[in-house]
Amino acid sequence: MDIIQTRNSQFTLRRGTADDAALVVAYMRKLGDYQKMLDKITATEADIRRLLSEKKGEVIFGEYAGATVGFIYFYQNSSAFTGQTGLYIDGFFVDQQEQSKGLGKIMLAYISKLALERSCQRLEWGCLDWNEPAIDFYRNLGAYSVDEMTIYRFGPQQLEQHASFFSN
């Protein structure tokens, strides 16, 4: 088990493995509930186990006084636009009763260090426009928003539809 000590003696970080898939799903559901998007969380334990096993995603858990209280799920990406690599945080949540203890700041500090160790030039994540507490937290840490773009997406149905134009 990969345990990382922090400056807070009661708070440690732990690198997750594929065996933590159920815990990742549980934290994604907590995040989805907080974001009023619980119905959008469709990942199963098997899905997450596969992503972690195939190294397509990684997870760090925050443990306070021996109990898991937060997580960051992330993956490495790159940009042909900038020629840079980065880490993208797809899920980040600290249990509400543990917020305001500086634990989220410690977790972001660690993932920032990890990004630098991997020669990344950026760390990115999304935040819902209504989530003022999170926006304030990120801005207080020096993060800035990239407002000049909107993310568009093809889901499975659109992928099938558009891929069919290429089929023989």
pLDDT surpasses 70 at 124: yes
pLDDT surpasses 90 at 153: no
Examine residue 102 and state whether it is found in any structural domain, yes or no: yes
Examine residue 168 and state whether it is found in any structural domain, yes or no: no
Any catalytic annotation for residue 27? no
Closest to 103 in 3D by CA, of 23, 5, 8: 8
Neighbours of 40 (CB within 10 A): 10
Examine residue 159 and state whether it is found in any structural domain, yes or no: yes
Domain count, the chain: 1
pLDDT at position 59: 98
Per-residue pLDDT reduced to its tens digit, 65-117: 999 999 999 999 999 999 999 999 999 999 999 998 999 999 999 999 999 99
- Domain of residue 16, CATH code: 3.40.630.30
pLDDT at position 31: 97
CB 125 within 8 A of CB 88: yes
pLDDT at position 1: 58
pLDDT surpasses 80 at 3: yes
Examine residue 130 and state whether it is found in any structural domain, yes or no: yes
Cα torsion through 44, 96, 104, 145, rounded to 10: 80
The pTM assigned to this predicted structure is: 0.91
Domain carrying residue 145: 3-163
Under the banding of pLDDT at 50, 70 and 90, the label for residue 168 is: low
Per-residue pLDDT reduced to its tens digit, 17-59: 999 999 999 999 999 999 999 999 999 999 999 999 999 999 9
Catalytic residue among 27, 138, 144, 152: 138
pLDDT at position 69: 98
Neighbours of 154 (CB within 10 A): 11
Examine residue 66 and state whether it is found in any structural domain, yes or no: yes
